Structure 1
Amino acid sequence: MPAFLTTLARIAETTDRNGVPNWLATHPQPENRVERVGETVQRVRAAGGEGGTWTTNRDGYLARIDGLVFGDNPEDGVVRGNLFLHPPLRFALEFPDGWDITNSEEQVVAQEPGNKVFMILRTIEPGRGRSLEQVAQQHMRESGYKATDLTETTIDGLQAVVGTYEGNASGIGKVMARGAHFVLGRNTYFIGGIAAPDLYPRVVGGFDRTIQSFRQLSQDEADAIKPNLIDFYTARAGDTWQSIAQRAGNGLVSATTLAIMNDHAIDEQPAPGTRLKIVVAGS
């Protein structure tokens, strides 16, 4: 397990995920868990006594992970490129191209690479007996933001309140935000973007495009979304991580992620005959 978490940390290092302010990060970073899990392993080994037998069964391990879900489970929403899709709740949202997207139990966070510019999707407390504008103002006020303008509009036919806000974000400082509040089914949603005032004019158009991209999925569209799975591939002469990622994995994960998954340095190409873990689309 510590090695697995270290692998996750190596993958995380290839994105800007580490720059997420602590008020947006809801899942502990892998490197923060390695030490804790390592301590647990040591306690288990100590409890087993010096005479305990510890074995490594690679073939058994590979058999157990064959067909394992890789990445997001559709029941919790999935990331596909710059799209976030939630089959059970039947909606889709399109973030700006090239942004790093992290899906957690509480929220979805997207970050512009190289900058502390973020977008967030999450549910909030429903506004029983209150107008949507009142719900929006209270939510943002409790989050430390002050509205500079609010507009009633529609998003995919849903009543919505879109506003511009000023506030402060941990790890960034003073920021401007653009956000939308709306109701779909029993849930009240917030989609918003934040950036420092000097960056805001450049990115606010992208914030608005993402907000307006929210759409409801048909039942057929939702049913067609399947999880990505772990599969295996035997390396051939001339193979590179890039060629395997594209040919065998159809580009579902990057060449860098593929190398790290197989405990290789990124610049260390696989030897012919090596059995490798790859990621394939579910069916």
Structure 2
Amino acid sequence: MNIINITYKSLCRLTGALLFLGLLSGCAQNPVTGGQDFVMFSENKELEMGRTYHPQIIEQYGRYEDEALQRYVQDVGQRLAAVSHRDDLVYRFTVLDSPVINAFALPGGYIYITRGMMAYLNSEAELAAVLGHEIGHVTARHGVRQQSAAQAANLGYTLGAILLPGLRTAGAQDLFNVFGGALLSGYGREHELESDRLGAEYLARSGYPSEAMIEVIGVLKDQATFAEAEAKKQGQDYQGYHGLFASHPDNDTRLQEVVKAADKYKTTVREDEGTERYLQRIDGMVFGDSESQGIRSGRNFYHGEMQFALSFPQNWHIQNNPTSLRATAPQGAAIIEMGASDLNRKQTPAEFIRDRLNIKELKNGEPLSTNGLQGYTGLTVAEGKPVRVAVIYLREQAFIFIATTKSSGDFNKFDPAFRETVMSFHAMRQDEQQFAEAQRIEVVKVDSNDSYSGWAAKSRISNSPIQQLRLLNGDYPKGELKSGQLAKRVR
């Protein structure tokens, strides 16, 4: 106990000494509060960080190619930025071509929202709430403050270990990591609440209802509840929501308080929430998979660029990852994963499995001939469980299937479904090209014959289509369509 106390006090003295000596660049005025923040980056460096990382974000996610929608989001964002604490910055608002539900900001005024996020919003005010929250991160310099804290923690231990021998022990390093980690996680929690407060203020100043901030939190909580239910259906543990507002405080009272405090900034002219205006703007927007990543359509999958298609077992959950397809049976009882790899040598599918997959012993191996394509399949063992491996050649690529079960005793039960999936693989036919086109949001006026179950039956949405349609329209988990309302369906 005495060693820990001495180490902690020495650490505090060390940090003070470093600040005095100028080894840690000290404080800068917070643009929002006017107080002093500990930062290690000048404003010029902050702006440079945004310029540097912006092209990388675009390369990773892709920019959504709808210039009218991009201009609309830019206009809404600029309206908020004009009343922010850093109205001298040039803000860039970009819609990313990603189905992931998220929004984030880089230092210096680069702000992003995914089309996946926009699909589930239902008014311009909700869009403004998301953008206002991210503007708050920029105006309060959360990015550079967070990074400054991380660098200071690393620098503090490195120099401390040199100057204070007591910090060289493993126990002291663990203590330092806990101390620094708690500090940084605390920053994230407070930053989120501060961004809510700032976002609500910017909403009120620009004529939007500040309560839209709470509505957006509701949208995201519904998404988290849905994700937890989907994970349970797959027999998986829910890991928690890691997207927008991931570090938001659990105490809703504080959120209510900061939003209510924005009332004093309300303008004399109050606009409506812009529901119809927003829905008109996203009418026709791509929903779910992009054509470049291939399209899930019910139990089927179509890839227009790579020109292949296949079918998975009925009622399995299909996940379209950047480099693979994965289908999971209910309760996670079985899994099939498919990927593709370029062919470099003229070798048989059996040789490919042996040489490229490094599977030297394949039991019950047999050649495959399906839909005019050649392949090979057999059984191996991984972690004590039987695994079906299959490879099918299409043009200059090998398509690799790996399938197994949670319980070894269930393998024979699921193996026919594994083989059926492999044998369904084929070069895309002309009559299937339409299914490789992206699904899009369609905004319609509901009539008395419409229902979520009816819409779901006619949609191509994979994985719980009724609940996804409810989420799109703010009716999750049990709401129903109302005649005369504007609603989003997927076609």
* TM-score category, normalised to shorter length: 0.7 to 0.9
- Match for residue 179 of structure 1? 389
Q: Which amino acid aligns with 1:163?
A: G
Q: 1:238 to 1:138 in 2, by over 3 A?
A: same
One of 460, 463, 483 as aligned partner of 1:252: 460
Report the CA distance between 1:166 and its aligned residue.
Answer: 0.7
Would you tell me which structure has more helix in proportion to its own residues? Answer: 2
After superposition, give the CA deviation of every residue in 1:111-141 in whole Å (9 maximum; x if it has no partner): 1112330111111353536553343134544
Report the CA distance between 1:167 and its aligned residue.
Answer: 0.3
CA contact (8 A) 1:136 1:181 kept: yes
Q: Secondary structure at the match of 2:479?
A: coil
Q: Which runs of 5+ in 1 are unaligned?
A: 23-28, 40-49, 169-173
- Match for residue 25 of structure 1? none
* TM-score normalised by length of structure 2: 0.45
CA contact (8 A) 1:146 1:166 kept: no
Q: Secondary structure at the match of 1:259?
A: helix
- Match for residue 398 of structure 2? 188
- Match for residue 424 of structure 2? 213
CA distance in 2, matches of 1:146, 1:238: 59
* TM-score normalised by length of structure 1: 0.74
- Match for residue 98 of structure 1? 315
- Match for residue 244 of structure 2? 34
Report the CA distance between 1:256 and its aligned residue.
Answer: 1.8
Alignment of 1:212-231 (within 5 A): 212-219=423-430, 221-222=432-433, 225-231=436-442
Higher RCO structure (Cα 8 Å, ≥6 apart): 1
After superposition, give the CA deviation of every residue in 1:13-67 in whole Å (9 maximum; x if it has no partner): 4534884889xxxxxx88222345869xxxxxxxxxx9899x9543343222110
- Match for residue 160 of structure 1? 375
Q: 1:257 to 1:134 in 2, by over 3 A?
A: same
More displaced 10-residue stretch of structure 1: 68-77 or 57-66: 57-66
CA contact (8 A) 2:299 2:314 kept: yes
Q: Which runs of 5+ in 2 are unaligned?
A: 1-101, 104-215, 250-263
Q: 1:127 to 1:152 in 2, by over 3 A?
A: farther
One of 453, 463, 466 as aligned partner of 1:242: 453
The number of equivalent residue pairs is 258
CA distance in 1, matches of 2:448, 2:234: 39
More displaced 10-residue stretch of structure 1: 260-269 or 125-134: 125-134
Q: Which amino acid aligns with 1:258?
A: L
Report the CA distance between 1:277 and its aligned residue.
Answer: 1.1
Counterpart check, 1:204 vs 2:412: no
Counterpart check, 1:262 vs 2:470: no
Q: Which amino acid aligns with 1:164?
A: L
- Match for residue 272 of structure 1? 483
CA distance in 2, matches of 1:88, 1:131: 25
Q: Which amino acid aligns with 1:98?
A: N
Q: 1:165 to 1:127 in 2, by over 3 A?
A: farther
Q: Secondary structure at the match of 2:392?
A: strand
One of 289, 293, 318 as aligned partner of 1:72: 289
Q: Secondary structure at the match of 1:79?
A: strand
- RMSD over aligned Cα atoms: 3.7
CA distance in 2, matches of 1:259, 1:103: 22
More displaced 10-residue stretch of structure 1: 102-111 or 223-232: 223-232
Report the CA distance between 1:163 and its aligned residue.
Answer: 1.3
Report the CA distance between 1:232 and its aligned residue.
Answer: 1.5
Q: Secondary structure at the match of 1:211?
A: helix
- Match for residue 89 of structure 1? 306
More displaced 10-residue stretch of structure 1: 209-218 or 2-11: 2-11
Report the CA distance between 1:84 and its aligned residue.
Answer: 1.1
- Match for residue 153 of structure 2? none
Report the CA distance between 1:185 and its aligned residue.
Answer: 1.9
Alignment of 1:72-151 (within 5 A): 72-124=289-341, 126-128=343-345, 131-141=348-358, 147-151=362-366
After the TM superposition, list the runs of 4 or more consecutive aligned residues in structure 1 that deviate by more than 6 angstroms.
Answer: 50-53
Q: Based on CA coordinates, which of the two structures has the bigger radius of gyration?
A: 2
CA contact (8 A) 1:127 1:135 kept: no
Q: Which amino acid aligns with 1:93?
A: L
After superposition, give the CA deviation of every residue in 1:144-173 in whole Å (9 maximum; x if it has no partner): x963343333333333121111103xxxxx
Q: 1:74 to 1:205 in 2, by over 3 A?
A: same
CA contact (8 A) 1:93 1:215 kept: yes
Q: 1:265 to 1:36 in 2, by over 3 A?
A: closer
CA distance in 1, matches of 2:324, 2:480: 36
CA distance in 1, matches of 2:242, 2:373: 41
